[in-house]
């Protein structure tokens, strides 16, 4: 296939019934609440990474403690492809809803258990081992949640509003990190450092169990997506022909590119930036959390606006603009962060947040639109989670290691810019416009 043909926009040919507005809203609420809970759980680990490092990986020196806890943060990402291998086929064979219930249950339980594990001082080496095991299970659950939530909403949305509906996944995740920021700021502001270390950091972990119960109750009442029901009907009528390997590989490579762009930039924004500001730059922790919180609020608001814009102008222009912006502006953004001046730091974070929002919304909608329906749950989960395990999950650790190795506080920008440039090249060459694609095909 030549490049002109590859970039030709697919024609829409809807073959499945549209849901009523009330049913769509119920699905949005169910997915949004569960997605919020899962990402709040994931966020609070990042915000309390220094405390967790001291509790479970004591070394007597904050730097190696933080590096150890960031390494365990990365372990959660390494487990994601396993979650995709296990949960993806369940979504394709038994429905998207079942996976959404499994993930929210698993995430709630494991997060609460992290909150009650005794410290290294109490039970020795068993403490970090238990944290690593639970982080692996967390990674598996999140590995199934993001792509399945994207698939469920995308397959339930009107064809001309898939970008807007996709933004619900990214906006609720951003809102979860925003609430996590507020919770972390309140805990750090109200409690003494000794109280935070002793028990304060555990409160949001344990409280996540309540949110999990609510999310499970709501999600188990969901129906299946019209696209999945149509696909199941076709299977009963005749055995579908196997998809060509070239089709699968093309979708997989594209997913690696736009998921790497999104994943690396996201975890720089929501996990690493706060620790960089308070640790490397030396900003007061509450001031750093405040700047990150304001930027996250801008990020959340930007998501539906960008989703709606993509429904009008397409996915390709926005994902390419995000990749180009992150390639060019990564170094200036880190110069802004390293200034330590609140207003300049905030400007850098807002620019980063808007670029991440572009990549985020396009990631969700493209996960639905680049894969054929019969392998969408498995294929999107694998491509997305391999990218996050290999490139995004280790991102905060790579960033911290680059500074330690070079002594240059701008060094983390080179990793972000390099990944963004690679994604830009792949997407420019291979990504067609997909906004009008019939997602029931295949």
Mean per-residue pLDDT, 317-333: 97
Q: Decide: helix, strand or coil at residue 220.
A: coil
Q: Decide: helix, strand or coil at residue 57.
A: coil
Question: Does the pLDDT at position 6 exceed 80?
Answer: no
Q: Are 414 and 127 in contact, with CB atoms under 8 Å apart?
A: no
Q: Are 326 and 422 in contact, with CB atoms under 8 Å apart?
A: no
CA 186, CA 168: separation in Å to the nearest integer? 26
Please tell me the predicted confidence (pLDDT) of residue 408: 94
Q: What is the pLDDT of residues 225-264, one digit of tens each?
A: 888 887 777 777 777 667 788 888 999 999 999 999 999 9
CA 128, CA 402: separation in Å to the nearest integer? 25
The model's pTM is 0.84
CA 354, CA 302: separation in Å to the nearest integer? 7
Q: Are 134 and 114 in contact, with CB atoms under 8 Å apart?
A: yes
CATH for the 25-225+243-430 domain, from 3.40.50.620, 1.20.1250.20, 3.40.50.410, 3.30.2350.10? 1.20.1250.20
Indicate the pLDDT class of residue 2, thresholds 50, 70 and 90. Answer: very low
Please tell me the predicted confidence (pLDDT) of residue 351: 97
Q: Decide: helix, strand or coil at residue 118.
A: coil
DSSP 234: H
CA 226, CA 230: separation in Å to the nearest integer? 6
Q: What is the pLDDT of residues 173-221, one digit of tens each?
A: 888 888 887 888 788 888 888 888 888 889 988 888 888 888 888 888 8
Compute how many other C-beta atoms are within 10 angstroms of the C-beta atom of residue 135.
24
CA 190, CA 192: separation in Å to the nearest integer? 7
Select the more confidently predicted residue: 17 or 121.
121
Question: Does the pLDDT at position 362 exceed 50?
Answer: yes
When computed from its CA atoms, the radius of gyration of the chain, rounded to whole angstroms, is 21
Please tell me the predicted confidence (pLDDT) of residue 28: 85
Q: What is the pLDDT of residues 363-383, one digit of tens each?
A: 999 999 998 888 888 888 889
Indicate the pLDDT class of residue 1, thresholds 50, 70 and 90. Answer: very low
Both tokens assigned to 177: 């990190």
Mean per-residue pLDDT, 85-101: 87
Question: Does the pLDDT at position 140 exceed 50?
Answer: yes
Alpha carbon separation from 174 to 144, 321, 347, 363, 409 (Å, rounded) = 18, 20, 18, 14, 26
DSSP 279: I
What is the residue-averaged pLDDT of the chain?
A: 85
Q: Of the segments 38-47, 122-131, 271-280, 333-342, which one has the largest average pLDDT value?
A: 333-342
Question: Does the pLDDT at position 64 exceed 70?
Answer: no
| Domain ranges within the chain, ordered by starting residue | 25-225+243-430
DSSP 17: P
Please tell me the predicted confidence (pLDDT) of residue 436: 87
Residue at token pair 């919020």: 36
CA 343, CA 295: separation in Å to the nearest integer? 11
Please tell me the predicted confidence (pLDDT) of residue 45: 75
Q: Are 309 and 317 in contact, with CB atoms under 8 Å apart?
A: no
3-state secondary structure string across 382-435: HHHHHHHHHHHCCHHHHHHHHHHHHCCCCCHHHHHHHHHHHHHHHHHHHCCCCC
Torsion region of 282: left, alpha or beta (phi above 0 gives left; psi -120 to 50 gives alpha): left
CA 67, CA 424: separation in Å to the nearest integer? 30
Question: Does the pLDDT at position 14 exceed 70?
Answer: no
Residue at token pair 């590989």: 249
Residue at token pair 């949305």: 157
């Amino acid at each position: 296939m030549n490049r002109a043909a590859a970039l030709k926009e697919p024609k829409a040919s809807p073959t499945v019934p549209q849901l009523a507005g009330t049913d769509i809203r119920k699905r949005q609420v169910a997915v949004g609440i569960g997605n919020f809970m899962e990402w709040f759980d994931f966020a609070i680990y990042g915000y309390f990474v220094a405390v967790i490092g001291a509790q479970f990986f004591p070394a007597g020196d904050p730097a190696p403690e933080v590096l150890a806890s960031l390494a365990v943060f990365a372990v959660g990402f390494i487990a994601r492809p396993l979650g995709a291998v296990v949960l993806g086929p369940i979504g394709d064979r038994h429905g998207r809803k079942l996976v959404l219930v499994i993930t929210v249950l698993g995430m709630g339980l494991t997060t609460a258990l992290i909150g009650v594990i005794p410290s290294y001082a109490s039970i020795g080496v068993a403490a970090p081992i238990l944290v690593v095991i639970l982080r692996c299970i967390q990674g598996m659950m999140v590995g199934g949640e993001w792509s399945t939530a994207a698939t469920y909403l995308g397959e339930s949305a009107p064809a001309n509003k898939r970008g807007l509906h996709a933004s619900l996944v990214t906006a609720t995740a951003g809102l979860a990190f925003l609430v996590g920021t507020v919770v972390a700021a309140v805990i750090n502001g109200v409690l003494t450092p000794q109280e935070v270390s002793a028990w304060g950091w555990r409160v949001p972990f344990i409280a996540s169990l309540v949110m999990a119960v609510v999310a499970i109750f709501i999600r188990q009442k969901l129906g299946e997506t019209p696209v999945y029901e149509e696909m199941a009907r076709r299977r009963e009528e005749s055995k579908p022909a196997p998809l060509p390997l070239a089709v699968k590989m093309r979708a997989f490579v594209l997913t690696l590119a736009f998921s790497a762009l999104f994943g690396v930039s996201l975890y720089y924004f929501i996990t690493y930036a706060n620790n960089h500001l308070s640790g490397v730059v030396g900003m007061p922790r509450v001031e750093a959390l405040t700047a990150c919180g304001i930027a996250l609020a801008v990020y959340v608001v930007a998501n539906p606006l960008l989703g709606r814009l993509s429904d009008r102008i397409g996915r390709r222009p926005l994902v390419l603009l995000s990749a180009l912006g992150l390639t060019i502006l990564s170094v200036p953004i880190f110069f802004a962060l390293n200034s330590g001046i609140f207003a300049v730091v905030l400007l850098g974070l807002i620019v980063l947040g808007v670029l991440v929002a572009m990549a985020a919304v396009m990631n969700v909608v493209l996960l639905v639109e680049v894969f054929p329906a019969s392998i969408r749950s498995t294929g999107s989960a694998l491509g997305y989670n391999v990218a996050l395990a290999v490139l995004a999950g280790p991102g905060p650790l790579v960033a911290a290691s680059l500074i330690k190795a070079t002594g240059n506080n701008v060094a983390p920008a080179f990793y972000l810019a390099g990944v963004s440039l690679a994604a830009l090249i792949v997407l420019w060459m291979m990504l067609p416009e997909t906004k009008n694609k019939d997602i029931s095909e295949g």
